[in-house]
Amino acid sequence: MATFVLVHGSHDGGWVWQRLAPLLREAGHAVYAPTLTGLADRQHLIDCDVNLTTHVTDIVGLLTFEDLSDVSLVGNSYGGMVITGVAAKVPQRLARLVYLDAYVPDDGQCAADLWPPERRAFSEPVVSGPTRVAAPPSPALFGVSDPTMIAWMTTRMTPHPLATYEEAVSVGNAASLAVPRTFIHCTDTPVSTPDVFSPFAAKARSRGWTVHEIDTGHVPMLTAPQALAAVLLDEVGRAEANE
């Protein structure tokens, strides 16, 4: 049995995995899908100085208090920043990192450093009390075309604290960097949306990581859960075969 910990991206919450998680559990694996502080069902905490360290601490705390080990840690989009920071803190608890159409930062980079200029327009700040936040965009920008799903996502997406994009991440030491890494590239990018994640797929290939492609938009856990589950289960199966 593998253990998956699924880390969502900007504006989302643990809810975004609800089509994927049952498929992994049906295959016999344990699945955790936490919501990061200040988002979704934890949005009431958004004024509590939430930054990248907060979100890294969320996941480190989960791994520690649930006593999880040999974890397949999956991060979508901004979640790539979070899982990188987690690997720097507790590499001994991880079996692999899976960057799901996600940022792949180098040491000392923040998420905003990795944005192309046209991406910045999607994170114009909205002031809410003492907190600077980015308003949620339309799910259509993530490659979601089904009107029912767009409506469902829109009611659940919440503002995202800008400080999380501005704090640099540490990639850690040799033990952290030794954790195996995989990249899953979602290739169906809407014409109106900046192609943010193709460069990270290229970076992953240049580093010798396994790179998978899924012909869907940026949130495959909702738009192509069966295809995504197949890739994740294949990763676990290949690792077990090599042991």
Computed over every residue of the chain, the mean pLDDT equals: 92
Model pLDDT, residue 198 = 94
Closest by CA to 5, choosing from 48, 59, 42, is 59
Q: Express as a percent the part of the chain with pLDDT over 90.
A: 79
Q: pTM of the prediction?
A: 0.94
How big, in percent rounded to 5, are the helix, strand and coil portions of the chain?
A: 45, 15, 40
Is the pLDDT at 224 greater than 90? The verdict is yes
Domain locations in the chain? Answer: 3-242
Residue labelled with tokens 């469902």: 152
Architecture label for domain 3-242: 3-Layer(aba) Sandwich (3.40)
Lowest mean pLDDT among 89-103, 126-140, 146-160, 193-207: 126-140
Burial class (CB in 10 A: 0-12, 13-18, 19+), 209: middle
Closest by CA to 237, choosing from 21, 25, 1, is 1
Residue 27's pLDDT band (boundaries 50, 70, 90)? very high
Is the pLDDT at 59 greater than 70? The verdict is yes
State the catalytic residue, choosing from 72, 77, 123, 176: 77
Burial class (CB in 10 A: 0-12, 13-18, 19+), 80: buried
Would residue 206 show up in a list of annotated catalytic residues for this protein? Answer: no
Question: What pLDDT, in 10s, does the model give residues 210-222?
Answer: 999 999 999 999 9
Please state the rounded mean pLDDT for residues 185-194. Answer: 80
Higher pLDDT pick, 131 / 182: 182
